Structures are given as structure tokens and as C-alpha cells.
């Protein structure tokens, strides 16, 4: 991974040659769609294949226990991942980076992005070939910020891009998408009534403007950490639902215009008792390459978060 950003391109992660086991989707998403839905969009229940537990080998920095919130881009035949490392008590975190030749075995890369105080999270990694620059959107202290790098090793925070206004308490879990000549941020909002929603913002190239509420959480639930991809026909959103029992699963919705969404159902459920995601599956990072290729966060029976991989048709 020695070439500079002039050789970089953002595309999907493409491994499953390491051996994947079947895991069925199913169920219905409780969050409410906004805008009534698109009558031409026909939801199809997803079929999910997970890489076996322990397949991914992602570095755990010294002093940290948990790995969460992966965001993956391809680099000159290999891969780069931004992700969160957190302490055992989840009271301190940093955004760290790793690279890989095969998408399975990863090595530490560059310098972490530290928290201004204790906690930072939700990275969304993008590589801009023409500008020879990489960016990471992240959340910290209730706002969404951005950092940039020209070598994927040293990162500079550039400040906040989305800040809560009247009626909202905090924003988080940004997901950057560039499609059809426009740039979008999908993010999670918590309002003053402690209700959660997934929203959308667009940019004019300088400033971000909050434009739409896309999904709202159902009663007793939270929704957060969306990842949106375009499959050549429809936009597909993968997002986390935390139910009333605090169990997290990944669900999916589809749209033809990025405004009106229809829930499809559960995309990544919890695993078996010995699996890395036995107690929860969350925080997806999706790429499209004929099917959805998703890195995500699992919670095991020892209450440790780690990173896994699944493919969804």
C-alpha cells in the first residue's frame, strides 16, 4: 500500500473466497418510512451469507478491546478500512486505519484520529481520486465533523459540517454517498423527545444542507448508522435497529429517488451462541458489486464488539 492517493479508487470489497456460511434473513422492519413509498419499488426479502466467525483478522490497538463501525474502500488491488477502537468500558475511543490485500487479514496503517475529549465514532471513509485526498466523516460531541488526509497516514480535523438546531439534541453515524453528480450525507438524529431518525443532507460543494427525514424509529426502538449503495437500478439502505430488549440487527430498505423508502426486512440477524455476533449485528458499511458486500459490527457472548463480513443478494 505504498502508492499515493493518485492511484486510489473507491469501489466495493470483493472477497468471499475465504469461505462463507449461509445465514437467512427475514422479519419485518418496525421503523416507519417517510413519504408514502414508491409504487414501482418491489421489496424482495434478502438472502444473506456470512463469513464464518474469526475469518477477519483486524488489528486491536494496545489499550483497546472493542472494534466497531467499519468503513472500507479499495486501494490499488487491496483495501483500506477506517474503524473505531474502544476501551473495555466503552468510555474512550479513537478512529484507526488498516489496510489489506485480501479483505480478510488487516495491518495497521497510519495515525489514529483521536477524540477531542473521550469519544469519537461512526467513520465514513471516502477517497477522492481527482483531488488526491481522502476524507473521513465522523461524529463527536453530538455533531458531525470531517477529517482529511493526502497519504492515508496523517489526518487533520477540519471542523463540524452538521450541527443540531432547535428540536434536535445530537447527530451521529454519517454515511457519505456520491452518485449521479451529487453528494449526500445520511446520518442519525436524536431529537428533544429522545426519538431517533435517519436523515439526509446534500452539499453545494461548500456547505451541507439538511433536507429530508427518511426513516423514523418505531415505539421503543432506535435506528442509526445507515449505509446507502446504488445497485444500478435502486438505492439500498442498510441500517441498524436496536429493539426494546437492546438487541441490534441490520435491516434494509430500498428507494428509487433517495427520498421515499420501503423497508425490505432484516438483512443481518444475530448469529449462533459461539459466533462473534451472537448477541447483535450492527453498524453496516456496504459496497455494491453485483450484490451487497457488507462489513459490520458483531457483539459476542463475552460482550466484546468485533468486525465481520457478509454478502447480501
Q: What is the pLDDT of residues 118-130, one digit of tens each?
A: 999 999 999 876 6
Contacts of 77 (CB under 8 A, 6+ apart): 101
The rounded distance, in Å, linking the Cα atoms of 122 and 52 is 24
Cell of 44: 424482495
Residues in the chain where the model's pLDDT stays below 50: 1-30, 36-39
Q: Residue 296 belongs to what domain range?
A: 5-312
pLDDT at 39: 42
HSE-CB of 167 using CA atoms within 13 angstroms? 2
Give the CATH number of the domain where residue 224 resides: 2.115.10.20
Q: How far apart are the first and last CA of the chain?
A: 30
Q: Which of 175, 163, 272 is nearest to 214 (CA)?
A: 175
pLDDT digits (tens, 9 = 90+) for 13-47: 222 222 233 333 333 344 665 554 444 556 677 78
* Chain position carrying cell 417517510: 34
Q: Give, in order, the Cα–Cα distances in Å from 6 to each of 10, 17, 97, 102.
A: 12, 29, 19, 21
pLDDT at 26: 37
The rounded distance, in Å, linking the Cα atoms of 251 and 226 is 9
Reading phi first (left if > 0) and then psi (alpha if -120 to 50, else beta), residue 307 is in beta
| Dihedral sign (CA 231, 240, 200, 285) | negative
The rounded distance, in Å, linking the Cα atoms of 275 and 299 is 9
Domain count, the chain: 1
Amino acid at each position: 500500500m505504498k502508492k499515493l492517493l493518485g492511484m486510489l479508487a473507491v469501489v466495493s470489497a470483493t472477497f468471499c473466497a475465504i469461505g462463507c456460511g449461509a445465514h437467512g434473513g427475514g422479519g419485518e422492519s418496525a421503523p416507519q418510512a417517510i413519504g408514502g413509498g414508491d409504487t414501482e419499488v418491489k421489496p424482495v426479502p434478502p438472502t444473506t451469507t456470512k463469513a464464518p466467525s474469526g475469518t477477519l483478522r483486524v488489528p486491536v490497538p494496545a489499550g483497546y478491546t472493542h472494534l466497531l463501525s467499519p468503513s472500507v474502500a479499495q486501494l490499488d488491488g487491496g483495501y483500506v478500512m477506517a474503524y473505531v477502537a474502544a476501551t473495555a468500558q466503552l468510555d474512550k475511543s479513537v478512529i484507526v486505519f488498516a489496510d489489506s490485500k485480501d479483505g480478510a487479514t488487516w495491518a495497521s496503517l497510519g495515525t489514529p484520529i483521536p477524540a477531542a475529549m473521550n469519544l469519537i465514532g461512526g467513520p465514513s471513509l471516502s477517497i477522492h481520486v481527482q483531488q488526491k485526498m481522502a476524507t473521513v466523516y465522523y461524529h463527536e460531541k453530538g455533531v458531525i465533523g470531517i477529517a482529511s488526509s493526502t497519504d492515508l497516514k496523517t489526518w487533520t480535523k477540519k471542523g463540524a459540517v452538521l450541527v443540531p438546531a432547535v428540536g434536535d439534541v445530537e447527530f451521529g453515524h454519517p454515511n457519505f454517498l456520491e452518485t449521479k453528480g451529487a453528494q449526500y450525507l445520511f446520518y442519525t438524529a436524536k431529537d428533544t423527545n429522545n426519538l431517533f431518525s435517519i436523515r439526509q443532507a446534500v452539499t453545494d460543494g461548500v456547505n451541507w444542507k439538511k433536507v429530508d427525514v427518511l426513516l423514523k424509529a418505531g415505539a421503543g426502538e432506535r435506528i442509526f448508522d445507515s449505509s446507502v449503495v446504488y445497485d444500478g437500478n435502486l438505492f439500498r439502505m442498510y441500517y441498524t435497529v436496536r429493539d426494546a430488549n437492546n438487541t441490534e440487527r441490520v435491516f434494509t430498505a430500498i428507494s428509487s429517488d433517495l427520498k421515499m423508502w420501503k423497508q425490505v426486512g432484516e438483512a443481518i440477524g444475530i448469529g449462533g451462541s459461539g459466533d462473534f455476533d451472537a448477541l447483535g449485528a450492527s453498524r453496516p458499511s456496504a459496497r455494491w458489486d453485483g450484490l451487497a458486500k457488507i462489513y459490520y459490527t458483531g457483539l459476542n457472548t463475552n460482550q466484546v464488539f468485533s468486525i465481520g463480513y457478509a454478502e447480501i443478494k
